[in-house]
Chain A
Amino acid sequence: MQITIRYEAQTRRAVGLEEETIELVAPCRVSDCIQHVATLHPESLRPIVINAAGEIQPSLLIFLGDDQVVRDDTKELADGDTLTIMTPISGG
């Protein structure tokens, strides 16, 4: 199935893309998808989204469509879904 990954804030700068469409084998949960995407960009993206313990960073913001999902959400992704990942940002 095809999933569109949207990169925002620091993840966009790291990957150099606003979005990309990737091919995944169902069943695939949010965390499986993000772990997979991290392997596609091991130098640039992985340090931002995966912590030293190999888990998704607790501060990473994840949206399935327009709804936030937590990193251990058990929902399975469906063909055509858009998953947005962004780092929290601040002011100045």
Chain B
Amino acid sequence: MTDNSPSLTDEERAVYEWQMWVEDFGVAGQERLKGASVLISRVGGLGSVVAYELAAAGIGKLVLAHAGNVKPSDLNRQLLMTHAGLGKSRVESAERRLKELNPRLEVVAVNENVDKENAKQLVEQVDLVVDCAPMFEERLAMNHEAVGQNKPLVECAMYDLEATITTVLPGRTPCLVCLCPEPPKLWRREFPVFGAVSGTVGCIAAMEAIKVVAGFGSTLGGKLLAFDLRQMTFSKRQILRRPDCAVCGHLP
């Protein structure tokens, strides 16, 4: 995103060779990834896969925020957790697995979920945020802070075999509050889902983050990608900014 990106070592040139063959990404794109930092709010079913793909792609730094220890019901989808890690810290397990893949990666593991108190200093540490959290209260806190600090925010969500994803570019596209002005009352933290669904959304979210950071392709800004893996239907829909949005309505 900034162009005083660090240059690549010989090892990095070897590891990222295949993706640097992507013409509109190239060495410059790889250097931007190396110089970039991303906050992932919860490394569960979605966030584990986002983090793993970004680590594989050579992002410079990940800040991972997720409270609590690994439970049996995490293991159908939280791919950075392992059976041996049951009862142990989720973010520690995530950090260890990510560094096995990419020892050059800088990881800041925060054993907390995002809330109104910690959102500001978490967002300050990064260039972009990927929101993978289950509770609307924490998602709204994250949206508020990301928009306030003018940082791009990838919003990913799933339910059953369905999923949605959009990218918030503050002041240019709808934000989460434009889409969802108040927390839906009937949402519950636990809901039906397969790991193959969260993994699909996580990969798409990681690709969005890579494109925004490296500045190529077109993003889901102003669009909601909605898909249903039961019927294998995908649609890209236009979404609206609310002029009276409490979070982004004042932005030009």
Contact = CB atoms under 8 A, between A and B. Distances in A.
Interface residues of A, number: 24
A10 B159 contact: yes
A80 B185 CA distance: 32
B159 A89 contact: yes
B46 interface: yes
Contact of B157 (A18, A59, A88): A88
A12 B226 CA distance: 14
A33 interface: no
Nearest to B156: A91
B179 A88 contact: yes
A92 to B, nearest CB: 4
A57 interface: yes
Contacts, number: 94
Most buried by B among A9, A47, A61, A63: A9
A77 B92 CA distance: 53
A8 B226 contact: yes
B238 A90 contact: no
Contacts of A91: 42, 44-47, 131-134, 139, 156-158, 198
Given A8-B162, A70-B240, A59 B184 contact: yes
A68 B231 CA distance: 22
B45 A90 contact: no
A86 interface: yes
A67 interface: yes
B158 A68 contact: no
A68 B239 contact: yes
Interface residues of B, number: 45
A68 B159 CA distance: 20
B158 A89 contact: yes
Nearest to A92: B134
A90 B45 CA distance: 11
Contacts of A9: 159-160, 162
Interface stretch (B17-25, B54-62, B186-194): B186-194
Nearest to A63: B237
Contacts of A68: 224, 237-240
Contacts of A8: 162, 226, 228
Contact of A86 (B45, B47, B191, B226): B226
29 contacts: A8-B162, A10-B186, A18-B231, A58-B182, A59-B180, A59-B182, A59-B184, A61-B180, A63-B237, A66-B235, A68-B237, A87-B184, A87-B186, A88-B157, A89-B158, A89-B159, A90-B134, A90-B157, A90-B187, A91-B42, A91-B132, A91-B133, A92-B42, A92-B46, A92-B132, A92-B134, A92-B158, A92-B190, A92-B193
The 10 closest A-B pairs by CB, nearest first: A92-B134, A91-B132, A89-B157, A89-B159, A88-B180, A59-B184, A91-B46, A67-B238, A66-B237, A9-B159
